Amino acid sequence: MKALSVKQPYAQLIVENIKDIENRSQMTTFRGKVYIHASLKWHDRLRDDSLYTDDQFRNIITKLFAKEDQKNQNRFFKPGGLDNLKVGAIIGHVDIIDCVIGHSSIWEVLLPVMLQEAKENENI
């Protein structure tokens, strides 16, 4: 089983098909299914300037609300909002379909799947 550890809330954004590019410092030749592991630690600063401006982060959250309203499932933003996101667990999987160098984003993923129930580390 191949897994990629990503800090929350970015792990959730990947399996929700909101964040479809994952930037890493190293290239990979692997293509195919990789599980998304929400690491135990959250990103130190949710709106770190190197990742998103406040406006960009607000835009992402707005899109999540709109997405869930359309589906009427309210998976991501149930009562408690971001506090309900799982950490230290496999929360879904994606297919890595490409990896490039010299592009603004070097990993591209496709077909994200969010698991109905997160798999805690001790259950893996």
Number of domains in the chain: 1
Q: What is the mean pLDDT of the chain?
A: 74
Instruction: Answer yes or no: is pLDDT of 78 > 60.
Output: no
Which whole number is the average pLDDT over 86-99? Answer: 92
Which whole number is the average pLDDT over 7-32? Answer: 85
CA distances from residue 124 to 34, 37, 43, 86, 109 in whole angstroms, order as listed: 14, 11, 23, 15, 23
Which band of pLDDT confidence, cut at 50, 70 and 90, is reported for residue 61?
low
Domain of 76: which CATH number? 2.30.130.30
Q: Which domain holds residue 22?
A: 3-123
Q: What per-residue string of b and e applies to 45-58 under the rule 16 or more CB within 10 Å gives b?
A: ebeeeeebeeeeee
pLDDT at 58: 62
Would the pTM of this model clear 0.85, i.e. be above it?
A: no
pLDDT at 98: 87
